[in-house]
Chains A and B, each alone.
Chain A
């Protein structure tokens, strides 16, 4: 299985390459990619440098142009596709049918991957994208159980890539408008979920913290709790259960996905690549996660039957996780 790692900037890209990534994915510095945050991503020139570094180290470079093209800015998406083709990137990761059609007609040699934002969770959807745009690979949304992934690999006309580690998006990606409902900006339109400009952190009288998104209270933390980034799906809200009203993480706890112990099964079932999330994270984070996953994948390759995640890997990954908690997410039964 190919290890696909994130790079929000050049130091992260080096960190990923130096620590054993097989492929690195980047985005351009605008709303054409789904991690459009200030200070992140690549200019055309920086991307050339990134490509050189990756290629010199035999690592593939993918470019994510995976937001939905806004009609009034269509040329921006065209330009991004042109830039990706000029770079001779190893693949273009896209979600928008219009963008895919443009790429596939103008640059038939440029391999296309269907982004997770394309929300394809079944064989028929994958067949459509394959037939229409000749996609070579698709990244699966984090909504399928392991059994469902296994059934899909058998039917899929293209390679499949799954999320392996990182922040857990609990909604079918590309179909979540929670962020735009509250801030007006979403991953689809602006390339950002909970845009930083809408985030407020407030000290409370008891030494704790309140977090807000565009004025909406997402959570209150006591003095000893670590305050999380205010994403809507991980806030604590008031809901009426059958018995009583309660304040709870109604959608999901702040937790990260960690599938290290699924490596042998994912590999056996024919998954082509595992993806690490985190273009918004630091080079140190990218280095640590990449190194552990490289070691784990190599260990599994050397001896699949005996593979067990090492305690030190799990401990370190835990430290790098949101709220120091990890989960198998939709892969595991409790979600089903």
Chain B
């Protein structure tokens, strides 16, 4: 079992990003996905900055993946995606079909992030023909659904050709809009946002009128209100044929959590990670994503 650190989905100050990845370079994490995937207006980090971090991580022995923007609305955003796809150095994770188009036209192998809709192995087969090497299970699918997809992939003789990754820890990106909700909550337009999301590096929590924590607003993204945690399932996942677990880079703590998971994996021991009240187990156990099931580790 490998570990992947997903891209930072929030707007962090430039120095914070550099400090964070400096720590990541010293961690046991196997693979790191990098880049701005949420909002194209967040330009504090240049393409060159990301490449510099990518090289730092590669020198530290990490596998490095550059992630592309998820929702594209303009020509300039399309060129931004093209630039990442044309980097000639690092593998690219496609978060939109535009990236799949660019990468496959260049004859490059690629991986896909959780926002690409892969719900069956027939879709995997199409993407494999275009160069897919690793995919992330869509967030809303359960362990049972993954079993069905992998069985179907077996029938299509794909299983030894494609790696599977499961989003296992962090706040789940659930939806993308033309609107910036961080701006909306502060009653300013998207055009005049003045990067207000920088003031909320972990997003804005949204609760019901009964104070039930529900979502997290992060610019154009609506994320889960609870942090998903299914790290204790790593041995089940491995049996299923999952190659990698993804931890979302939502705070500096994620590195310590990843390192303790990596210790369990190295020692081939169960990982104990009880859900706190702020956490949920996402869709993995079936049912709704916000469920908080305290199931015994098998």
Contact = CB atoms under 8 A, between A and B. Distances in A.
A184 B287 CA distance: 5
Contacts of A71: 119-121, 145, 148-149, 151-152
The A interface, classified by DSSP as helix, strand, loop or mixed, is mixed
Nearest to B196: A242
Interface in A150-207: 151, 170-172, 174-178, 180-184, 186, 188-189
Interface stretch (B10-18, B24-32, B205-213): B205-213
B189 A336 contact: yes
Given A97-B122, A119-B117, A214-B288, A171 B175 contact: yes
B119 A129 contact: no
**Size class of the A contact interface (CB-based, 8 Å):** 35 or more
A28 B190 CA distance: 39
Nearest to B289: A181
Interface string B87-130: 00000000011111110100000000001010111110111001
Interface stretch (B72-80, B248-256, B259-267): B72-80
Contacts of A97: 122-123, 126-127
A224 interface: no
Interface stretch (A8-16, A233-241, A297-305): A233-241
A122 B207 CA distance: 34
B123 A240 contact: no
A169 B177 CA distance: 9
Interface string A119-157: 111111101110110000000001111001001000000
Contacts of B121: 71, 98
Interface string A33-45: 0000000000000
Contacts of B184: 250-251
A178 B145 CA distance: 19
B51 interface: no
B206 A250 contact: yes
The B interface, classified by DSSP as helix, strand, loop or mixed, is mixed
A223 interface: no
**Size class of the B contact interface (CB-based, 8 Å):** 35 or more
A122 B101 CA distance: 11
B8 interface: no
A277 interface: no
Nearest to A198: B288
B203 to A, nearest CB: 11
B187 interface: yes
Contacts, number: 230
Contact of A241 (B127, B144, B187, B288): B187
B175 A248 contact: no
B120 A74 contact: yes
A166 to B, nearest CB: 17
Contacts of B60: none
A4 interface: no
A174 B178 CA distance: 14
A260 B96 CA distance: 31
Given A120-B97, A216-B208, A96 B73 contact: no
Interface string A235-278: 11111111000011011100000000000000000000000000
- Best-buried of B120, B125, B207 by chain A (most CB within 10 Å): B120
B122 A98 contact: yes
Given A175-B115, A181-B224, A182-B214, 5 more contacts: A97-B126, A178-B222, A184-B289, A239-B185, A241-B187
The 4 closest A-B pairs by CB, nearest first: A98-B122, A124-B98, A68-B119, A125-B97
5 contacts: A121-B71, A122-B78, A125-B96, A238-B206, A251-B177
